[in-house]
Each structure stands twice: as C-alpha cells, then as structure tokens.
C-alpha cells in the first residue's frame, strides 16, 4: 500500500465515479425529455469541472498513485475498494470527463425517442469508464469493465441504425468472450499473491510459463477492446450502427481501455512474457496499421471509413507501447488522447451530416462545402489532424511513436511509414468528396450550416487539436515520471533476468 498517496480530504475520485450514477438514478424517477437533457448536461459538466483539480493538484514528480482512496470491501477474499491515478491514467480520466458533456449536446436533437433512458445509459457509461481508469483493485476493475457492456449494448441496440441487433450482439459477445479468460487470469494472480491490489501483483517472480498464460489471457481481452487486427471485426459493425454519442464514446474512450490495459497490466505484471511476445504484438500492430489504412481507402460509408482508420491509429498506439522506450510509450499515450479527440470529433461531424441527410454514404454527402462552410472548416481541420499533419495533435503522437520505433527496429518503423501515407490518402479522399465532390453531386442546397449548439460542441475539440499539436509539453509532463519509472523498472527487470540466466 506504500505505492499510494492517500487523499485525506474530499474523496474526489469516488465523487467522479458515483456522481454520474446518482444522476442516472434521479433520471429513473423523473423522466421528462427536456429535463433529462438539461439534467444530464449539468451532471456531466459538473463532473468535468470537478476533474480539473486532478490536474492542478497532480504531483508530476512522483510515480505513485495519487488522490488514492482505500476501503475494505469484501474481507473474505481480500477485495478492497482502492482508487488512484498516476501519470498513465490521468489524461484518460480527463479525456472521459471532458468528452461526456459534448456527447450530451451531440445527442440533443439526434435522440428523439426514449430520451431519459438514453441519458441514463450515458451517465452509467461515464461511471464505469471513469471507474476502469482509476480502479486499483482488480475485482473492482473487472466489475466496471464488464458492467460497461450493458449500457453500451443498450445504446447500440435501442438507438442504433438498421442493423443494430446484429451489431450490438456482436459487440457484446465479442468483448465478453475476450474478458472471460481475463477473469481466470485475475483469479490465478490472486492465488499467487493473496491480494487483488494491482500494484502488489507487479514485478513479482512468476515463472515464464505462468506469465505467458497470464499475458495471453490479458492480451485476448485487451486486443479485442483495442481492437487489434485480427480481432477488429466487431468495431466497424458497432461504430456504424451506434448513435453518434455511442460512436464517440466507443472511439474516444472504450478503445483506450485496451491500450491502457496493456500499459497498466501486461508490462508490469508479466514483463518476461511481454518481452518474449513483443515481436508478435509489434508485427500485429503493423498489420493493423496497413490493413486499417487499405480498408479505409475502400469505404463508401463515412462511419465505416473512420472506424477502419481507428484500427490503423490504434495500431500505432500498440506499436508505441511495445517498443518499450520512453519516446514510444509517451507517444502512445499522447496518441491515445489524440485519437480520442480527433476521431471523436470526426464521428460528431459524421453525425451532424447524418442528422441532415439521413445517410452516411459519401456520395450522398458529396459537395456540401458550398452550403456548409462552417462545417467543412471543422471537418478539414479534424481530417488533417487525423492524418497527422504537422501542427496538429496526431503529428506529435505519431512522430514520437515512429521515432521510438526507429531506435529499436528500423525495418519495423519502415513498415509502419506507409500507414501514415495511407492515412493521408483516405482522409483527403473523404475531405475531397465531402467538400467538393464531383460533377454529379446531389442537390445540397437544402442543407443548413451548423447551428450554435453544434459549433459549441466542436470548438473544444479543435482547441485541443492545436493545443496538443503546438504545445504538447504540459501533457507530456503529466505522464513523464510514471512512464519513465515504468520503463526503468522494466529494463532493470530485463537485466536482472539476464543476470539470473548468466549465473
């Protein structure tokens, strides 16, 4: 427990977790439509405001878990309620709290039926997502990790598109199937350590076989969530059918849980297995980058295009994590945030055009530039960000990841480069079609440009695109100590292991 800096004052993290839940319970009783909208907006905004002290009070000089809370929960199994944030999770927590209000505004008019239940699902999602990022007890983590499936399933299955039944069941089964063995792995780790406290499980002397078994169980769960090639097939289906807010949550936050899992669990708990299996993971990442890029190039459905681009972008993230150097890992975390901001914004953009044309087809949305100048301006910036244009946020992330990769393995880095080119190809194709189109554009003159609410929704995303793009240092500072500490321990472990084998 000495890895925790206990927060004696106001239980900030518990508040962040349970406040949205309390808000959801209120909505179960009072379910007027416009009340539900304003109430949810208020709740998510208050949660976002209360997450600001996390940054201002964050101590960047320590790798320990801060704002920690620890309480007994189920003593018979040594299960405790332990929360805490460190440099790896703090940005993800902020990403979650800051994005949720915009999910509400994006659904303001999009959701017309069963508004209150929709908002309840959003709030419960927020509770469980925040919980996943701050939980330091494995059972608590697993409960929230699994529980999240229910509201997400509801979001897709009730408010989704035409093939919502197929997409939602596939999403649920796929992710659940992945996390089944995670549970067994957690139990096995508990029996080795006698505790579910996550930091207690790290850097222990497990045999290599045991580690590989644990790593594979983790890997299956997290790789499906990321999703890594070839476990990605649920993602396009779920993205396409989900309502806008669902897509944003899915892309911006849910996918990050997989990569967060790699960083938080795979590296420190099973370091030997991570080293042994890293080459395979790296090449799978490359496969994902290229496969995602090529497939995105061929899509005519805008949501599908962005969904496949996610596969590519997340490939970069796993690439950065498994090169095991500070540049790569920092790049990976920055890229996780970038992807959350940029892809979230892109899904919002697609949602806005869908509200007007009721189609996600590129050909239907062709040539709207003339009639929606505000809209295409936003879209252009987000597209440029998505392809990693210098000055935008993704450039920083991809650059750090590729630089880190070059240090380790040049062929690997060279193999990843075409991914960046492909990103430019498919995003510019999207942009060209939407802004100008061709000679046979449909009549778009009936379209209204973005309203005030929509501009408010998109602007913060744009601010973050340039903030991270032009001045990433504050963000890197937040994570620096934790990442460096993790990698130092990892390399010390590797050398210790090497010495053991020499002797």
- Which residues of this chain interact with other proteins, rule CB under 8 A? 73-77, 139, 142-144, 146-147, 149-150, 153-154, 157-158, 164-165, 168-169, 172-173, 176-177, 180-181, 183-184, 187-188, 190-192, 210
Query: Distance (Å, rounded) from C-alpha 443 to C-alpha 439?
Result: 11
Minimum CB separation from other proteins for residue 248, in Å? 21
Q: Return the DSSP state at 347.
A: H
Helix, strand, coil shares, percent, the chain, to 5? 75, 5, 20
Indicate the residue among 106 and 140 with the shorter CB distance to other proteins. 140
Query: What are the two backbone dihedrals, phi and then psi, of residue 123, each rounded to the nearest 5 degrees?
Result: -65, -40
Indicate the residue among 55 and 188 with the shorter CB distance to other proteins. 188
Query: Distance (Å, rounded) from C-alpha 427 to C-alpha 270?
Result: 38
Query: Distance (Å, rounded) from C-alpha 500 to C-alpha 170?
Result: 46
Task: Name residue, tokens 């994902």.
Answer: 288
Minimum CB separation from other proteins for residue 133, in Å? 17
Task: Name residue, tokens 């901001």.
Answer: 341
Minimum CB separation from other proteins for residue 189, in Å? 10
Identify whether the C-beta of residue 299 lies closer than 8 Å to the C-beta of residue 318: no
Indicate the residue among 35 and 406 with the shorter CB distance to other proteins. 35
Indicate the residue among 152 and 333 with the shorter CB distance to other proteins. 152
Minimum CB separation from other proteins for residue 385, in Å? 35
Minimum CB separation from other proteins for residue 213, in Å? 9
**Mind spelling out the 3-state secondary structure of 452-492?**
HHHHHHHHHHHHHHHHHHHCCHHHHHHHHHHHHHHHHHHHH
Indicate the residue among 139 and 337 with the shorter CB distance to other proteins. 139
Query: Distance (Å, rounded) from C-alpha 378 to C-alpha 342?
Result: 11
Pairing mode of beta strands 79-85, 65-74 = antiparallel
Indicate the residue among 154 and 226 with the shorter CB distance to other proteins. 154
Query: Distance (Å, rounded) from C-alpha 22 to C-alpha 310?
Result: 33
Minimum CB separation from other proteins for residue 80, in Å? 11
Minimum CB separation from other proteins for residue 65, in Å? 23
Query: Distance (Å, rounded) from C-alpha 344 to C-alpha 247?
Result: 8
Indicate the residue among 39 and 174 with the shorter CB distance to other proteins. 174
């Amino acid at each position: 427990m000495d890895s925790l800096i206990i927060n004696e004052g106001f239980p900030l993290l518990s508040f962040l977790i349970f406040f949205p839940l309390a808000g959801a319970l209120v909505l179960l009783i009072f379910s007027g439509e416009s009340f539900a909208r304003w109430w949810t907006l208020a709740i998510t905004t208050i949660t976002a405001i209360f997450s600001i002290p996390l940054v201002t009070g964050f101590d960047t000089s320590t790798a320990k878990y801060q704002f920690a809370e620890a309480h007994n929960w189920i003593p018979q199994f040594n299960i405790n309620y332990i929360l805490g944030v460190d440099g790896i999770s703090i940005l993800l927590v902020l990403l979650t709290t800051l994005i949720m209000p915009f999910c509400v505004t994006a659904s303001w008019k999009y959701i017309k039926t069963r508004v209150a239940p929709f908002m309840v699902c959003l709030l419960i999602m927020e509770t469980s997502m925040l919980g996943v990022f701050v939980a330091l007890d494995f059972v608590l983590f697993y409960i929230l990790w699994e529980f999240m499936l229910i509201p997400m399933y509801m979001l897709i299955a009730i408010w989704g598109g035409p093939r919502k039944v197929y997409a939602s069941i596939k999403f649920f089964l796929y992710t659940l199937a992945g996390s089944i063995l995670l549970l067994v792995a957690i139990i096995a780790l508990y029996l080795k350590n006698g505790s579910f406290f996550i930091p207690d499980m790290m850097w222990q002397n497990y045999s290599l076989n045991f580690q590989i078994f644990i790593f594979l169980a983790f890997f299956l769960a997290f790789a499906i969530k990321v999703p890594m090639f070839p476990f990605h097939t649920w993602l396009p289906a779920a993205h396409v059918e989900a309502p806008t807010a669902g897509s944003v949550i899915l892309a911006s936050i849910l996918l990050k849980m997989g990569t967060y899992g790699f960083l938080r669990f795979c590296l420190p708990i099973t370091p030997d297995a991570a080293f042994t299996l890293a080459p395979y993971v790296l090449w799978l990442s490359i496969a994902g980058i290229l496969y995602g890029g090529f497939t995105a190039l061929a899509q005519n459905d805008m949501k599908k295009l962005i969904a496949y681009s996610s596969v590519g972008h997340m490939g970069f993230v796993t690439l950065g994590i498994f090169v095991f150097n500070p540049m790569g890992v920092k790049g990976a975390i920055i890229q996780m945030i970038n992807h959350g901001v940029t892809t979230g914004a892109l899904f919002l953009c697609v949602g806005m055009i869908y509200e007007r044309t009721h189609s996600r087809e590129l050909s239907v949305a062709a040539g709207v530039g003339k009639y929606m100048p505000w809209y295409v301006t936003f879209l252009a910036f987000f597209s440029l960000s998505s392809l990693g244009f210098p000055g935008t946020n993704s450039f920083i992330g991809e650059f750090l990841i590729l630089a880190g990769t070059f240090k380790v393995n040049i062929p690997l880095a060279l193999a990843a480069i075409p991914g960046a080119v492909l990103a430019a190809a498919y995003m510019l194709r999207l942009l060209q079609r939407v802004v100008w189109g061709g000679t046979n554009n449909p009549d778009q003159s009936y379209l209204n440009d973005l309203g005030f609410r929509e501009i408010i929704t998109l602007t913060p995303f744009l601010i973050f695109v340039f903030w991270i793009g032009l001045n990433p240092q504050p963000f890197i500072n937040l994570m620096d100590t934790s990442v460096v500490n993790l990698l130092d321990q990892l390399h010390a472990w590797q050398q210790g292991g090497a010495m053991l084998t020499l002797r």
